[in-house]
Amino acid sequence: MSLRSWAFASLLISFSAVAQTSPGLSQLQKQLVENNNELRASQAKLEAQKAQAQSSWGALLPELSASAGYAKEKTLHDNDDGYVGYLNGSWNIFRGGQDWQNRKISQREYDIAGLDHEIISRRLHRELGETYYKALLNSQFISFDTEKLQFLKNQRAMAAKKINAGLTSNVDAIELDLEESTLSAEIETHKTDLQISLDELKILINSPDPVAVSAKDTFPRMSKADFSLTDLSRNPSIMKQNSMEETSQLRRRQALGEFLPTVDLNAQYGRIIPQYDDPLQGNESRLSVLMTWTFFSGFESWNKSKSASSLEKSEAFAKSNLAQQLQTQVHSLSNKASELLQLQQLLEKRQVLTQKYYDLTLSEYRRGVKNSSDLANATNSLFDNKTRLIEVQKELAVLKLKFDELTK
């Protein structure tokens, strides 16, 4: 394939790419969800918090138990000892609303665990995408440099003919040797960087098998519309901070409940008073409704209330600060994307010009008008522009990952 055909084919592929993840990245994302240990640990923590939230219902329901053993009881009028055995039922009818608040707190903590899971998932997907695009960039660098080496070999053949004809000196061959040596070194560097990225991908997806990235894959095509959404209402970090603020409000209300009395219903049936008779033959019963009001607890309740109020204010300030920081990040990413999109358009136009410049320089080199340094400059200009273009496409793809992490 000629250089002209190759350049235009590459541009055509670039223009036709849509703003979506490539098949290779999609497969890696699937493996990440299935195999990543950090994500698995987060999921297990979420399930544990769900069970904890469900267990908070227990405080609102009656408790039944059975007791049996030996007891000795001394009262004002009688002394009893012997066996006891009875069924016991208790129900905390009222605790100043603390049980209901605790139930709501447990649900909020479950919500927070779910949001933590979402935050981890988004971060890992972003890290996976960044690493994949880094690997793809180095893979394409290797492809470009290999292609350029082939062009240099073609130029070497032309230079050899001119040297044999006495039209130029060995300088042309030496210049090509130097360029080939530089390219070979660059290829080895890119191979090392590529292997590092592939190893990182392997760790992220927790795969025992090596990971491969095809240089034929393309970066997603971006536009201004991809960076237009700046709504942070679905951002899990902000949603988590909202839940944390609500949790602090519930804890304050729960602390206030400690200043109120508690009402308990208790019932017992069986051998309640100790006797040596068969406890299974007992038919004693006891029913009580007790109200307990704690007048002094060493300022424990007061300090809890004060701490909860301060924590509520702290969470409110933290929410406002977080929203401001994330909004600034979103605008910064959007502005950076606009700059890169403009640069991408300029580089795409320049790619056509560098192609024309190379063709003209090659033609004049063959006719002896241009020398080897002119042809080398034209070749470098063409490939440097293509390299810079693919770097911009990679930067835009990474920006999109960061943007989506905040806004989707």
List CB contacts of 163: < 8 A, sequence separation 6 or more.
Answer: 169, 170, 172, 173
Quick one: which H or E segment has residue 210? none
Unique residue bearing structure tokens 């267990």: 55
What's this model's pTM, rounded to 2 decimal places?
A: 0.80
List CB contacts of 321: < 8 A, sequence separation 6 or more.
Answer: none
**Phi, psi for 226 (deg, rounded to 5):** -70, -15
List CB contacts of 317: < 8 A, sequence separation 6 or more.
Answer: none
Reference 379, options 147, 160, 206; nearest CA is 147
Ramachandran bin of 223, using left for φ above 0, alpha for ψ from -120 to 50, beta for the remaining angles: beta
Alpha carbon distance 266, 201 (integer Å):
61
Contact 289, 264 (CB under 8 A): yes
Q: Is 206 helix (H, G, I), strand (E, B) or coil?
A: coil
- The confidence score (pLDDT) of residue 13 equals 35
Unique residue bearing structure tokens 């308990």: 264
* pLDDT tens, N- to C-terminus, the chain (408 residues): 333 333 333 333 333 333 344 448 999 999 999 999 999 999 999 999 999 888 888 878 888 999 888 888 888 778 888 888 888 988 888 887 888 888 888 999 999 999 999 999 999 999 999 999 999 999 999 988 888 887 777 766 665 665 555 555 565 566 666 777 788 888 899 999 999 999 999 999 999 988 988 888 889 999 999 998 888 888 999 999 999 999 998 888 888 888 888 888 999 988 888 888 776 677 888 888 888 888 877 777 788 788 888 888 898 899 899 999 999 999 999 999 999 999 999 999 999 999 999 889 888 877 777 776 777 788 888 888 999 999 999 999 999 999 999 998
